[in-house]
């Protein structure tokens, strides 16, 4: 069953200029996102995983146009949105929503929960019964309507994240960019929120771009997973396939670092040497070369392209065949 792509990102580039000197001349740029492509299908979840600083949040923000992309194309439902006029984009805006990482700063402390959820409705669906809708979304995310007149600081982190989700849902979105929605929460609550998101996906058919910094969280919710390293996707594959047959050495390292609940299983963790290089002076060849145990001179000089391993499984590594043989 092949569903239609709702969001397609092609060669997305986000560069930040570095200005210096007397006249604020541009002397260089930080390539936060450097040619990134993926496709998100209707009603599915794509997990976007990478260490902090790799550009995954930037990608998310560029898609909802919080940050201006310097290059590439983004198609929503077949229509390019990056070059769209603000007026045209206005109609698409509600369809692309976002859930934020920190449930404490994502809600305006001076508004009641009711007002927070009502706000998007007032602007985009003013003709409908706002009160009714607010209560509906509140209940949909597992909150009680008695809590409508309370302020955010009266809630726990998990509850707040539910409010954030309810607010995003209020616009009937097709795609939700979830920017590490659970990483600020306790482990016990993480599962609850993820289950809620899954349930909502089933009920409402929403597609998620689920951004996370480690593979363990996205495992259960994602249909596809993209692994990011320094502004590029290094491996893209269906979730199961990725966990079973990781092709990129970076993916392997990430998977090996997932804590395993079963102590009997043997664990051969690959520990990466060094730190993630600054995006200011990224290596010219394979960006992972500085930390890769398999790196050769080729890796240092030539940037690897995405290669197809099997159906839907792609990797950007010169030596994937050798490594996985």
What residues line the site for other proteins (CB under 8 A)?
A: 21-22, 61, 64, 66, 90, 93-94, 96-98, 100-102, 105-111, 119-120, 123-124, 150-151, 153-154, 164, 167-168, 171
CB 300 within 8 Å of CB 285: yes
150 vs 240 by CB, closer to other proteins: 150
Q: Tell me how far CA of residue 296 lies from CA of 248, 290, 302, 320, in angstroms.
A: 15, 10, 10, 13
83 vs 123 by CB, closer to other proteins: 123
Cβ 164 to other proteins, closest distance in Å? Answer: 7
Residue 216 main-chain phi, psi, to 5 deg: -65, -35
Q: Rounded CA gap, 139 and 233, in Å?
A: 37
78 vs 86 by CB, closer to other proteins: 86
Cβ 302 to other proteins, closest distance in Å? Answer: 35
Cβ 157 to other proteins, closest distance in Å? Answer: 13
DSSP H/E element including 235: strand 232-238
Q: In what order do the strands lie in the sheet with 5-20?
A: 25-41, 5-20, 71-76, 79-80
Q: Rounded CA gap, 17 and 33, in Å?
A: 13
Cβ 117 to other proteins, closest distance in Å? Answer: 11
Cβ 110 to other proteins, closest distance in Å? Answer: 4
CB 11 within 8 Å of CB 179: no
Rg of the chain over all Cα atoms, to the nearest angstrom: 21
Cβ 179 to other proteins, closest distance in Å? Answer: 9
93 vs 303 by CB, closer to other proteins: 93
44 vs 180 by CB, closer to other proteins: 180
Which of the 8 DSSP states describes residue 219? T
2 vs 146 by CB, closer to other proteins: 146
Cβ 72 to other proteins, closest distance in Å? Answer: 19
90 vs 298 by CB, closer to other proteins: 90
Query: 12-22: buried (b, 16+ CB within 10 Å) or exposed (e) per residue?
Result: bbbbbeeeeee
């Amino acid at each position: 069953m092949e569903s239609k792509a709702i969001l397609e990102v092609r060669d997305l580039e986000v560069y930040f200029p570095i200005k210096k000197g007397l006249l604020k001349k541009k002397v260089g740029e930080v390539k936060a996102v450097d040619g990134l492509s993926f496709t998100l299908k209707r009603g599915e979840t794509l997990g976007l995983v990478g260490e902090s600083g790799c550009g995954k949040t930037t990608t998310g923000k560029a898609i909802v146009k919080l940050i201006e992309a310097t290059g590439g194309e983004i198609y929503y439902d077949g229509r390019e949105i990056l070059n769209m006029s603000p007026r045209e984009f206005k109609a698409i805006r509600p369809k692309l929503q976002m859930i934020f990482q920190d449930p404490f700063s994502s809600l305006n402390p001076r508004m009641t929960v009711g007002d927070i959820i009502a706000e998007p409705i007032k602007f985009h669906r003013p003709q409908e019964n706002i009160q009714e809708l607010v209560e509906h979304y509140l209940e949909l995310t597992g909150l009680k309507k008695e809590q409508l007149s309370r302020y955010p600081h009266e809630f726990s982190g998990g509850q707040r994240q539910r409010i954030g989700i309810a607010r995003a849902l209020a616009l009937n979105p097709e795609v939700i960019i979830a920017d590490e929605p659970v990483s600020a929460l306790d482990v016990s609550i993480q599962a609850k929120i993820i289950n809620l998101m899954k349930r909502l996906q089933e009920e409402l058919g929403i597609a998620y771009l689920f951004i996370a910094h480690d593979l363990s969280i996205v495992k259960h919710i994602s249909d596809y997973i993209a692994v990011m390293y320094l502004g590029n996707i290094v491996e893209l594959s269906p979730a199961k396939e990725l966990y079973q047959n990781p092709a990129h050495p970076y993916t392997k390292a990430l998977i090996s670092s997932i804590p395993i609940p079963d102590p009997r299983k043997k664990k051969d963790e690959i520990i990466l040497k060094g730190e993630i290089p600054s995006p200011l002076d990224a290596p010219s060849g394979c960006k992972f070369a500085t930390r890769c145990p398999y790196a050769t001179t080729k890796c240092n000089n030539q940037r690897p392209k995405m290669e197809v391993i099997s159906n839907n499984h792609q990797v950007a590594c010169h030596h994937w065949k050798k490594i996985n043989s």
